[in-house]
Amino acid sequence: MVAKYLYIVEKFITFFIENIFLVRIKGVPLRHESKTIKNYIVMKHNFCAGPAVLPQEVIEKSAQAVYDFAGTGISILSISHRSKEFKPIVDEAEALIKEILDVPEGYSVLFLAGGASMEFCRVPYNFLNKKAAYLNTGVWAKKAMKEAKAFGEVVEVASSAESTYTYIPKDYVIPADADYFHYTTNNTIYGTEIRKDLDSPVPLISDMSSDIFSRPVDVSKYNCIYGGAQKNLAPSGMAFVIVKNDALGHVDRYIPTMLNYQTHIDNGSMFNTPPTFTIYSALESLRWLKAQGGVKEMAKCAEARASKLYTEIDRNKLFVGTANEEDRSYMNICWVMQPEYKELEEDFLKFAQGKGMVGIKGHRSVGGFRASCYNALPMESVDALIACMQEYEAKH
């Protein structure tokens, strides 16, 4: 009798949570009902800088694979990386990156644990023989430069530190005897971006953590392109690396096995156990990206989202953008309150949160607001944020 009673109560609670509570949370728009996982997924407008918004389809397929990977009856979380089912996942992910970015012959694509920060050290270990040139455009560029200093001479060709990195330096000389010139294409924290492949007397190496796959890139100009996966590709904890094969093997030092790119090239990213689930999600993202029309289409969408939001920031009497206009990022849009409305900052954040906006608080080192608008962010989220900014303006 008691068991029957408990059963009915449990059924009632489950029904309430799945059918009423999740769907009706006040102010949170329900945008999606999952077909594959029998549940409701409540989506907010996710402007987080990373880990960040991923396509709904990628989340669903990844979740499905956690239950049963490709009909194997085993979860993707438990499947061997050496299994016949997993190998094609890595191969297809590599091939799709090559196809999507039009990577020339002679380059390898790697998936490595450790994130972009690990590459700050792996890059000079593998490429810096005597001297390297770095462009200092923010915290991440500085961290990359710090690691390089352990391996040789580092020339900081220019810096915008004196203005809290609100612009991209333009006039500088890259030493022609440097092994490479390193720059961060998109400065996630400050909202500045270099959207073209720079001209340089020496090969380029770039941290493209936060704008990879958002536009076409001329890979042939680079010895190495790397980044953390957690913005435009997959969940966090993994780096993607595109490396020119014959640029390796020219340093005089011993490179520890795991830090040597050659190890991972020789073993197809499987020298040790790779982050299997993250690679699977990356594959689903790449399939999605290709189906959307690839990086050309992503570039159009990125520009459309960013120009809408910047137009509103410039128009709205309460707000002001922080980055130099010509250097504004399409991926991370940063702004603050106009000085006369400064005291409203916290209040606006709360107001926006109440409207379902997530992750718009600026990085702790700059304050204000930041809306990260990566590939998977729907235009409807940008529209919702703009509506929220306008509604707040009307109150003041």
Ligand X SMILES: Cc1ncc(COP(=O)(O)O)c(C=O)c1O
CB of 365 to ligand X, least distance (A): 12
Please select the residue that binds ligand X; options are 210, 260, 276, 278, rule is CB under 6 A. 210
Tell me: does residue 124 bind ligand X (CB under 6 A).
Answer: no
Please select the residue that binds ligand X; options are 46, 126, 160, 188, rule is CB under 6 A. 188
Give the x/- contact pattern for ligand X in 38-57, rule: CB under 6 A: ------------x-------
Helix (H) or strand (E) holding 107: strand 107-113
Question: Of 5, 1, 53, 24, whose CA–CA distance to 359 is shortest?
Answer: 53
140 part of the active site: yes
CB of 377 to ligand X, least distance (A): 16
Six-digit token pair at 39? 């549940």
Residues in the chain: 396
Residues 158, 135: contact at Cβ < 8 Å?
Answer: yes
Tell me: does residue 134 bind ligand X (CB under 6 A).
Answer: no
The amino acid occupying position 267 is N
Of 127 and 140, which CB lies nearer to ligand X in the complex structure? 140
Helix runs in the chain, H state only: 2-16, 56-67, 87-100, 115-127, 139-148, 261-266, 276-292, 294-315, 345-354, 379-394
Please select the residue that binds ligand X; options are 147, 193, 207, 312, rule is CB under 6 A. 207
Task: Check 140, 244, 335, 361 and give the catalytic one.
Answer: 140
CB of 83 to ligand X, least distance (A): 27
Residue 238 CB partners (closer than 8 Å, separation 6+): 111, 112, 113, 114, 115, 228, 229, 275, 278, 279, 282
Task: Check 44, 61, 179, 207 and give the catalytic one.
Answer: 207
266 part of the active site: no
Tell me: does residue 115 bind ligand X (CB under 6 A).
Answer: yes
Tell me: does residue 214 bind ligand X (CB under 6 A).
Answer: no
Of 209 and 214, which CB lies nearer to ligand X in the complex structure? 209
Residue 360 CB partners (closer than 8 Å, separation 6+): 47, 349, 352, 369, 370, 371, 385
328 forms beta bridges with 192
Of 116 and 154, which CB lies nearer to ligand X in the complex structure? 116
With contacts defined by CB under 6 A, how many residues of the chain interact with ligand X?
A: 11
The amino acid occupying position 39 is N
CB of 184 to ligand X, least distance (A): 5
Of 118 and 384, which CB lies nearer to ligand X in the complex structure? 118
CA 313 to chain centre: 23
Tell me: does residue 184 bind ligand X (CB under 6 A).
Answer: yes
State the pairing for strand pair 186-187/222-228.
unpaired
246 part of the active site: no
CB of 41 to ligand X, least distance (A): 25
Which residues bind to ligand X, rule: CB under 6 A?
50, 115-117, 140, 184, 188, 207, 209-210, 228
**Catalytic (active-site) positions:** 140, 207, 231
